[in-house]
Amino acid sequence: MNSSQIRQAFFNFFETKNHFIEKSAPMVVKNDPTLMFTNAGMNQFKDIFLGNSPAKDLRVANTQKCLRVSGKHNDLEEVGHDTYHHTMFEMLGNWSFGDYFKKEAIVWAWELLTEIYKIDKNSLYVTVFEGAQDDNLEPDNEAKEFWKQYVPEDRILYGSKKDNFWEMGDTGPCGPCSEIHVDIRNEDEKKKISGRELVNKDHPQVIEIWNLVFIQFNRLSNGSLQPLKAKHVDTGLGFERLCMVLQGKQSNYDTDVFQPYIQKLATLANKNYGKKEESDIAMRVISDHLRAVAFAIADGELPSNNKAGYVIRRILRRAVRYGYTFLGFREPFIHQLVPVLVENMGNYFPELPGQQDLIMRVIAEEESTFLKTLAVGITKFENYIQGNPDKKIVDGNFAFELFDTYGFPIDLTQLMAREKGFDVDMKGFESGMKQQKERSRAAATVETQDWIVLNPSNEETVFLGYESLQAEVKPVKYRKVTSKGKSLFQLVLDKTPFYAESGGQVGDRGTLKAGEIALHILDTQKENNLSVHILDKIPEQWPDTFIATVDEKKRRLTENNHSATHLMHSALRKVLGTHVQQKGSLVDEKRLRFDFSHFAKVTPEEIEKIEQLVNERIRKNIQREEHREVAMEEAQQMGAIALFGEKYGDKVRVIAFDKDYSAELCGGTHVHSTGQIGLFKIVSEGAIAAGIRRIEAVTGKLAEDYVNEKINTLNQAKEVLKNPKDVLKAIEQLQQENDKLSKQIQQLQKAQAGNMIDELKQKAQKVGDINFISVKLAIDAQMAKDLAFEMKKQIESLFMTIGHLADGKAGITIIISDNLVTEKQLHAGNIVRELAKEIQGGGGGQPHFATAGGKKPDGLDKAVSRAIEFIKK
RNA sequence: GGGGAAUUAGCUCAGUUGGCUAGAGCGCUUGGCUGGCAGCCAAGAGGUCAUCGGUUCGACUCCGAUAUUCUCCA
């Protein structure tokens, strides 16, 4: 079977077991502060396990694209060096939300592997949880009994808490799990040592392929376990490994999941795969990272310099670096693999072909900037080697600087050092690294306490804010969150008029009142499906209900901007083309910011057209159309623009302003009719990444202010220019005149300086063969300098001292012709320092030119008269 | 969120312990030469040294803040 068939067989099998086949959620996580990327199949169902949302279907199966850059089998630095580490991978899974439990999960897993995929039963091993005293847990004999019906007991192993007890995090749902391992060694190897001995021993050919998790507890922050009412099944079957097993390969990279990219790379690099260890590693690294980066970009996460974007950038750069070092690439090359990826996976993941152009451009741009950074670092390194030719060891601090500042991985530095016959001081490097880590950890500790439940509920918060801004609400639970010494409280309500930050629209602010109690809601945020109200304090006694009131002014202004964003989005697509896709959005009460894919600067003419279109719609005062609880397919038929990857169970809501003009999937709040927006004005346009532009705009009163300010500035300019008919022409004339005048001044100054020079020449006296001048002038330091250098050009063997005084500042300037400096050993710097004593100042300079300044102008005469002492000696 | 670095001519970059009236290569303008692959020679234009503030007789250089970019850690 090829990989597509393997994936399809999984879905077909679970469909016959009444599972709903869910699409993969985006790999990039939006509303979860604890997670940047989907790192397991269960992520999109997290709210169901946590009891924050009810399940839509009780049985679900899917494949989930996941990304991991740290962890047991996913340390970024390991990827490519062996046959099974990956950053991005697919996790096949079947799910039961309070429906079937251990028995069915085990029976079906066995059936699929042995009957459908036809894996040899004799090479399979299973593990069950052995129990744990510290948690007071018995061995999972229930699971073992089910297994015994299919698997001989000598192939059922007990596993420790580490391997066989799954936890979502420090707190949250958890439970025992049962793993299926497969031994893919050849018969000779199997005879030498039993597979039983190698299970969970990190043997590359005796591997876990399927983990069946039985969620039955909730871990509290004090460490204790609480049994769950509804028990769930969460399974994860590693797709890439499964392909390896079914295709009879010894390495994930030998399957058709990775080979197309490896082969393409081999062609591009003019090297064969399987010939040399280091180029093989490089090809594996690149083929893995290509997938991770391309999917991330397709899901809207662009390489950038912090957070999730930075992780993507790091992955891409690692790939570039391996290509650079081991495959000899000096020009961007990874983007050329994207078409192969699209051909390979585009069928099941339409987001790839949909954005192929953008993905290629972004990758190409990143590649070329990083190749530049590498070049800078290499120069830095070579300078270091040249500066320390006898050292034979690269300083640890320097190696760390290269790593920290220029992104040079330590192994690259070692490699380059070896080429020059140098070693690297690894101890010094490690200590720099350690310090950095400690600094960061100390800066970012967030302490989250357990939820304190006031009124138990496992329903989602009902959002009332589409209709009303005030409501009587019941507190459900709250907790304290401490970060950097500041404590805030998070509060969940049964229903709320407060909009939680999402889809670019900022969260609402407002108040909670109950009798004497008045609380301020500082912000409202979303944690997965949970609406969390942020408070700075909580009441001593919780009332049964509050009156919740949203800050209306802020909300209305924000709505203006949000609706305007929709209107602008369609205007952009009309004016620039339908390749325009939203890549980011921020809407608050002051402005709207919109990032979108587009490959050229938006011209002033286009900006004007966009503004016109939007303002036209505003003037038409179009009524808002709102459709809630719409099925995805229906929404698409309505022509609604959607971002890729709606989440499982999301109710789709469509907002339209004249549905032939603007219809979008959106959970945000909007104006009743577009006239409320008043006026729309684009304030700035620019690039934020390759192929991504950003527009900022304002609406309503703020747009008025913006326009008025521009007009005022123009009016003021007019006034200053005495109200000319044509302002532009007036300014041009002014500029021309200005140019003319400055030239005249320059000429005059030259003439003046010429006069001064002539005068000074008269004052020159011969002292031996030196032309000596010492004068006091009413000029500033800059003029003295100019004069000095001009004199030096015109008079040979010059020794000149100028005492100058301007704006109450006294100074001394000395210039000496070069021949005197060498022949007479004169040093202007030393002389000026001596003379400066007369004006209570200090100074210095070079042998031929020096300056000094002082606080006592009275001493200038004396200083000037003393100058001659220094050449008489 | 916390660190490290960079920002100098249209482009790519030099610039030593604070003092060379800020330089190079490419590009540009002008003139001359020229049958040879990036033609050659000569002259010239082009700079708020990212921005603001401070220290100093004097700041591209030192200090602080801001902006932008790179980079590492979380």
Smallest CA-to-CA distance from A431 within A406, A392, A408, A403 is with A403
**Which bases of strand B have any atom within 7 Å of the beta carbon of a protein residue?**
1-5, 13-14, 19-21, 56-58, 69-74
φ and ψ of A863, to 5 deg: -60, -45
Q: Which residues of chain A have pLDDT under 70?
A: 71-74, 484-485, 642-651, 690, 732, 735-736, 738-751, 873
Beta carbon of A441 within 7 Å of strand B? yes
What pLDDT sits at residue A393? 86
Based on the fold, state whether residues A437 and A459 are members of the same structural domain.
no
Tokens of A299: 């899901």
Residue A610 inside a domain? The answer is yes
**What does the alpha-carbon distance between residue A582 and residue A688 come to, in Å, rounded to a whole number?**
13
Distance CA A787, CA A777 (A): 11
Residue at which a domain ends, from A313, A340, A365: A365
Structure-derived torsion over alpha carbons of residues A102, A104, A107, A108, reported in degrees to the nearest 10: -120
- Boundary-marking domain end, from A338, A365, A392: A365
B/e letters for A196-211, b = 16+ CB within 10 Å, e = fewer, are: eebbbeeeebbbbbbb
A443 touches strand B (CB under 7 A): yes
CB neighbour list of residue A596: distance below 8 Å, 6 or more residues apart: A569, A572, A580, A581, A582, A583, A692, A693, A695
Q: Which residues contact A211 (CB under 8 A, 6 or more apart)?
A: A166, A177, A178, A179, A180, A235, A236, A237
Whether nucleic acid strand B comes within 7 Å of the CB of A846, the answer is yes
Is A386 near strand B, with its CB below 7 A from some atom of it? no
A283 CB closer than 7 A to any strand B atom: no
Residue A781 approaches strand B within 7 Å at CB: yes
What is the Cα–Cα distance from A65 to A25, expressed in whole angstroms? 7
pLDDT of residue A647: 59
Residues A424 and A454 in one domain: no
The answer to whether residues A199 and A107 belong to one domain is: yes
Report if residue A156 sits inside a domain: yes
Q: Is A173 helix (H, G, I), strand (E, B) or coil?
A: strand
Q: Are residues A482 and A386 in the same domain?
A: no
Nucleotide nearest to A788 (CA to C1'): B21
CA distance A295 to A289: 10
SS3 of A23, please?
coil
Q: Report d(CA A217, CA A226) in Å as an integer.
A: 5
Helix or strand run (H / E) with residue A818? helix A818-824
Residues A689 and A768 in one domain: no
This complex has an ipTM of 0.81
Position A347 scores a pLDDT of 92
Residues 6+ apart with CB under 8 A from A767: A799, A868, A871, A872
Is there a domain that residue A239 lies in? yes
What secondary structure does DSSP assign to A323-370, as a single string?
Answer: HHHHS---S--GGGGHHHHHHHHTTT-THHHHTHHHHHHHHHHHHHHH
Give, in Å, how far the C1' of B4 lies from the CA of A85.
31
Does the C-beta of A710 come within 7 A of strand B?
A: no
In this complex, the nucleotide whose C1' atom is nearest to the CA atom of residue A842 is B57
Domain with A481 in it: 446-550
Q: Is A749 within the bounds of a domain? A: no
User: Does residue A320 sit within a domain?
Assistant: yes
The distance (Å) linking the CA of A599 with the C1' of B16 is 45
Residue A126: predicted pLDDT: 96
Does residue A434 sit in the same domain as residue A450? Answer: no
A174 and A53 part of one domain: yes
Return the SS3 of A63: strand
Phi and psi based region of residue A368 (left: phi greater than 0; alpha: psi -120 to 50; beta: remaining): alpha
State whether the beta carbon of A793 lies below 7 angstroms from any atom of strand B.
yes
Pick out residues 400-429 of chain A having their CB under 7 A from any atom of nucleic acid strand B: 401, 403-407
Q: Which amino acid is at A870?
A: F
Q: What share of chain A is helix, strand, coil (3-state, %, to 5)?
A: 45, 25, 30
Residue A689 lies in a domain: yes
Residue A643: predicted pLDDT = 61
Q: Evaluate whether A872 touches A827 at the Cβ level (below 8 Å).
A: no
Q: How far in angstroms lies nucleotide B41's C1' from the CA of residue A508?
A: 72
Q: Give A230 CA → B9 C1' in Å.
A: 72
User: Does A522 reside within a domain?
Assistant: yes
Q: Which nucleotide's C1' atom has the smallest distance to the CA of A792?
A: B21
Judge if A630 and A700 occupy the same domain. yes
User: Do A562 and A640 share a structural domain?
Assistant: yes
Give the nucleotide with minimal C1' distance to the Cα of A372. B70
- What is the Cα–Cα distance from A244 to A284, expressed in whole angstroms? 15
CATH number at residue A510: 2.40.30.130
The reply to whether A389 falls in a domain is yes
Give me the number of domains chain A comprises. Answer: 6
Domain limit, last residue, from A241, A257, A273 = A257
Helix (H, G, I), strand (E, B) or coil at A77: helix
CATH of the domain at A50: 3.30.930.10
Q: How far apart are CA A814 and CA A798, in angstroms?
A: 10
pLDDT digits (tens, 9 = 90+) for A724-757: 887 777 776 776 676 666 666 666 666 677 778 8
Residue A436 CB in 7 A reach of strand B: yes
CB atoms within 10 A of CB A319: 29
Tell me how far apart the alpha carbons of residues A20 and A22 are, in angstroms, rounded to a whole number: 6
pLDDT tens digits along A382-407: 778 777 777 788 888 888 888 888 88
- Both A7 and A146 in one domain: the answer is yes
Instruction: Kindly determine whether the C-beta of residue A668 is less than 7 Å away from any atom of nucleic acid strand B.
Output: no
- Considering the domain architecture, whether residues A412 and A524 belong to the same structural domain is answered as no
Q: What is the pLDDT of residue A857?
A: 85
SS3 of A36, please? coil
The answer on A623 and A584 residing in a single domain is yes
